[in-house]
């Protein structure tokens, strides 16, 4: 049985449930505000650069807070209508002037959620700019803080500044005057601002222990207490303020190690204490810390385990709900998850349900066409793409896919028309130029094909495959010397490119250099010994 927020997450298709396990925690944090006219702001709308993609979590918040005003911001321009209570503005999460104007016109906010760039520096800067503007009693959440341990996001095991987990961890020692509670869950940190109404205690039954009763091994004692508790039970530790050093060290380390699954991805030798796997969440206030007993082992989305028991249970609950209620975005998110899990039959059921309810988004066509390609249902893929082009005539990726289907259907003239339109719509996209070059060669328009292939190589000079394609076309046009030089340049980039060696062998043979041709094809066969085509070509050369 899923909670009300998780249900909304599933049907609207936000990855805050499924790839992540966030919405049960959000429900814990926000349920007491559900009937209030809250003002909520979320950093990050989703959908990357596409103006009409994203917004799934904004729809979830809109329906959860039925009297609330919802604001989303994104660095990319977004054009979508999510109803009168939802506004989406374009701007940066670290643009002080933009944020100040936003708070002035749409705030003060009762809830702020940072699901933006996840760059550590940005997380810290956004908090410093926005938390002071939060309404009294409001809640600020930093999401996906596992990037604190990922070097490519500016993270480190030492939590070297700027580091989001390290930044918030420091507050445990001396909690700021305007903060009354810091909560920590897997990949999430929430801070409650001081206000007239004290925040409700999270969770169910509570067992209390005084820090004075802990001996020389507080972690061992607390771990034993937690082991004995049923899941979802709260263990409350009371202490004098300020936090005792030894207990402070323990809580500070646990605050980090709650993300032990993420830490292990980049730092597999890092040690984890006994409490972390048993602690589903922790809440620290002045004079009190609460540990929530639960299995803290949900897989990281950076190394997702599709066979994890909790993940599998979540997927089953999602599937049951979506097949019954049938919302397009939710069906597509779960179809993506189960595609990655290799659950083809379940994916087909979800996509059939999506088609049944009239799904028409680009995401639907991408997913459905991908399945048709896998099953080699080229006619079905073509019909879907015909519909998609009619709905999205200016989407070059759909045009490109339709062109590829025409190539499979041995209709290169129709493919050329689609690829030409794709190039007009996206002249800087290298792949569609190479696709167009291939299609033009099929209808003997070699000069045009070479022109587009040259342009593709100019735009992506370090891509060996595009150089191979240009070399092949040059050889077909009889320009052997340039073709050979182009293929050699491809092999400098990728010495083990068997196709480049095969084309080079052809060029040497056409030039009458059988020894060079044999050397090239023999090297190609070392790389692809099971290729009958390469073997036959070698035999032909050896026969002379």
Q: Could you tell me if 142 and 189 are in contact, meaning their C-beta atoms sit under 8 angstroms apart?
A: yes
What whole-number distance in Å separates Cα of residue 162 and Cα of residue 233?
A: 34
Tokens 């709308």, residue located: 45
What CA dihedral angle connects 396, 397, 398 and 401, to 10 degrees? Answer: 120
What whole-number distance in Å separates Cα of residue 422 and Cα of residue 53?
A: 20
Element (H, E) at 291: strand 288-293
The set of residues, in sequence order, having a beta carbon less than 8 Å from that of 283 and lying 6+ positions away, is 181, 182, 183, 184, 202, 289, 290, 292
User: Catalytic residue among 118, 122, 186, 466, which?
Assistant: 118
Q: How many CA atoms lie within 13 A of 500 on its CB side?
A: 21
The set of residues, in sequence order, having a beta carbon less than 8 Å from that of 303 and lying 6+ positions away, is 261, 265
Beta strand extents in 127-229 (DSSP E only)? 139-143, 179-185, 188-193, 206-210
Where does 326-429 have alpha helices with state H?
328-340, 344-356, 362-374, 378-391, 396-408, 412-425
Eight-class DSSP state of 410:
T
- Rg of the Cα atoms in the chain: 29
**Is 76 buried (19+), middle (13-18) or exposed (0-12) by CB count in 10 A?**
middle
What whole-number distance in Å separates Cα of residue 428 and Cα of residue 471?
A: 21
Element (H, E) at 175: none
Annotated catalytic residue 118: yes
What whole-number distance in Å separates Cα of residue 122 and Cα of residue 171?
A: 18
Using alpha carbons only, give the angle 8, 10, 15 rounded to the nearest 5 degrees.
Answer: 110
Q: Could you tell me if 420 and 449 are in contact, meaning their C-beta atoms sit under 8 angstroms apart?
A: no
Q: Could you tell me if 223 and 293 are in contact, meaning their C-beta atoms sit under 8 angstroms apart?
A: no
Distance of CA 20 to the CA centre of its chain: 10
Provide the annotated active-site residues: 118
């Amino acid at each position: 049985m899923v909670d009300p927020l998780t249900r909304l997450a599933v049907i609207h298709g936000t990855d805050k449930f499924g790839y992540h396990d966030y919405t049960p925690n959000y429900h814990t944090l926000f349920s007491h505000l559900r009937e209030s006219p809250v003002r909520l702001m979320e950093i990050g709308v989703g959908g990357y650069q596409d103006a009409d993609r994203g917004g799934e979590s904004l729809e979830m918040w809109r329906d959860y807070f039925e009297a609330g005003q919802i604001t989303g911001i994104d660095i990319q321009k977004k054009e979508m209508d999510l109803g009168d209570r939802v506004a989406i503005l374009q701007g940066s999460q670290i643009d002080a002037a933009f944020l100040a104007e936003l708070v002035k016109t749409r705030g003060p906010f009762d809830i702020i959620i940072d699901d933006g760039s996840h760059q550590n520096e940005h997380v810290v800067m956004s908090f410093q700019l926005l938390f002071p503007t939060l309404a009294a009693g409001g809640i600020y959440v930093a999401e996906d803080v596992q990037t604190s341990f990922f070097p490519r996001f500016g993270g480190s095991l030492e939590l070297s500044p700027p580091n989001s987990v390290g930044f918030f961890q420091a507050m445990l020692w001396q909690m700021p005057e305007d903060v009354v509670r810091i909560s920590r869950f897997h990949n999430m940190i929430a801070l409650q601002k001081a206000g007239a109404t004290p925040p409700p205690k999270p969770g169910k039954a509570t067992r209390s222990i005084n820090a004075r009763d802990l001996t020389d091994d507080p972690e061992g004692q607390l771990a034993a207490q937690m082991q004995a508790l049923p899941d979802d039970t709260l263990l409350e530790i009371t202490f004098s303020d300020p936090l005792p050093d030894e207990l402070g060290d323990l809580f500070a380390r646990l605050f980090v190690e709650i993300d032990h699954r993420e830490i292990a991805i980049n730092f597999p030798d890092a040690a984890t204490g006994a409490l972390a796997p048993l602690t589903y969440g922790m809440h620290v206030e002045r004079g009190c810390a609460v540990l929530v007993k639960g299995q803290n082992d949900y897989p990281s989305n950076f190394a997702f385990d599709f066979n994890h028991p909790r993940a599998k249970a979540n997927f089953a609950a999602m599937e049951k709900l979506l097949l019954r209620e049938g919302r397009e975005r939710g069906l597509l998110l779960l179809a993506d998850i189960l595609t990655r899990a290799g659950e083809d039959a379940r994916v087909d059921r979800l996509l059939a349900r999506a088609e049944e309810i009239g799904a028409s988004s680009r995401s639907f066509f991408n997913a459905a066409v991908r399945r048709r390609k896998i099953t080699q249902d080229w006619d079905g893929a073509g019909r879907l793409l015909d519909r998609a082009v009619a709905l999205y005539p200016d989407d070059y990726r759909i045009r490109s896919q339709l062109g590829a289907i025409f190539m499979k259907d041995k209709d290169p003239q129709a493919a050329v028309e689609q690829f030409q339109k794709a190039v007009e719509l996206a002249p800087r996209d290298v792949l569609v130029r190479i696709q167009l070059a291939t299609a033009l060669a099929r209808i003997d328009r070699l000069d045009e094909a070479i022109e587009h292939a040259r342009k593709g190589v100019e735009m992506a000079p370090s891509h060996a495959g595009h150089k191979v394609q240009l070399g092949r076309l040059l050889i077909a046009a009889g320009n052997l010397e340039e073709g050979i030089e182009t293929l050699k340049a491809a092999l400098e980039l990728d010495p083990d490119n068997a196709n480049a060696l095969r084309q080079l062998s052809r060029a040497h043979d056409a030039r009458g250099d059988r020894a060079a041709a044999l050397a090239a094809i023999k090297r190609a066969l070392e790389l692809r010994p099971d290729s009958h085509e390469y073997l036959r070509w070698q035999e032909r050369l050896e026969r002379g």
